Amino acid sequence: MISRHSIISLLCFLAFDIQVVLAQELPRSSEGALEWLKKMAEAPRRHNYSGVFIYYADSHIEASRIVHKNDQAGEHERIEVLDGPPRIVLRTNDEMKCYLPESKRIYTEKRWFRKFFPDILPQPFGNLDENYYIKEVKRERIIDHESQIISLIPRDSLRHGHQFWIDTQTGLLLKSAIMDSGQIIEQFAFAQLEINGEIQSDLLKPNSFMAQDGWKVTNLLTSVISEGELKWQINDLPSGFRKLVEVKRNLTEKPVFVDHIALSDGLATVSVFIESMAEDTPTPTSGFFTDRGAINIYVRVLEGNKITTIGEAPMETIKLIGDSVIKIN
Partner 1 sequence: MKSKVSALMDGELDQQDVTNVIEAIRKDDDLQNEWRSYHLIGDTLRKSSRLSMNISSRVSQKLITEPTVFSPNVTRAIQKQKYKVFTLAAAASVVAMISAGLIMNNLYRPQQITIAEQSNQENNLIAAPIMVSSPPLIHNYSHPPVEINDYLFVHREFSPGTTMRGQASNIHNVEYHERYGR
Which residue's CB is nearer to partner 1, number 11 or number 203? 11
- Non-local (6+) Cβ contacts of 20 within 8 A are none
- The CA-atom distances, in angstroms, between 62 and each of 104, 173, 178, 262 are 22, 18, 16, 26
| 282-321 footprint of partner 1 as x/- string (CB under 8 A) | --xxxxxxxxxx-x-x-x------x-x-xx---xx--xx-
What distance in Å separates the CA atoms of residue 141 and residue 328, rounded to the nearest whole number? 53
| Cβ 40 vs Cβ 168: under 8 Å | no
Least Å distance, CB 270 to partner 1, is 8
Which residue's CB is nearer to partner 1, number 143 or number 297? 297
Kind plus residue range of the DSSP H or E element containing 131 = helix 128-131
Which residue's CB is nearer to partner 1, number 39 or number 111? 111
Near partner 1 in 247-266, by CB under 8 A: 249, 251-252, 254, 260, 262
Least Å distance, CB 146 to partner 1, is 25
Which residue's CB is nearer to partner 1, number 198 or number 217? 217
| Cβ 111 vs Cβ 224: under 8 Å | yes
| Cβ 109 vs Cβ 95: under 8 Å | yes
Q: Which stretch binds partner 1 (CB under 8 A): 6-14, 139-147, 172-180, 195-203?
A: 6-14
Does residue 113 touch partner 1 according to CB under 8 A?
yes
Which residue's CB is nearer to partner 1, number 119 or number 148? 119
3-state secondary structure of 11: helix
What distance in Å separates the CA atoms of residue 155 and residue 178, rounded to the nearest whole number? 15
Least Å distance, CB 272 to partner 1, is 10
Least Å distance, CB 292 to partner 1, is 4
Which residue's CB is nearer to partner 1, number 198 or number 279? 279
Taking every pair of C-alpha atoms in the chain, what is the biggest distance, in angstroms?
Answer: 93
Near partner 1 in 136-165, by CB under 8 A: 155-158
Q: Which of 57, 219, 199, 190 is nearest to 119 (CA)?
A: 190
Does residue 22 touch partner 1 according to CB under 8 A?
yes
Kindly provide the residue ranges of all beta strands, DSSP E only, lying in 7-86, ordered along the sequence. 49-57, 60-71, 74-81
Least Å distance, CB 72 to partner 1, is 25
What distance in Å separates the CA atoms of residue 105 and residue 215, rounded to the nearest whole number? 5
First to last CA, the chain: 69
Q: Which of 30, 34, 39, 81 binds partner 1 (CB under 8 A)?
A: 81
Least Å distance, CB 17 to partner 1, is 5
Which residue's CB is nearer to partner 1, number 12 or number 137? 12
What distance in Å separates the CA atoms of residue 127 and residue 241, rounded to the nearest whole number? 10
| 194-233 footprint of partner 1 as x/- string (CB under 8 A) | --------------------------x------x-----x
Does residue 125 touch partner 1 according to CB under 8 A?
no
**Total binding residues toward partner 1, as defined by CB under 8 A:** 93
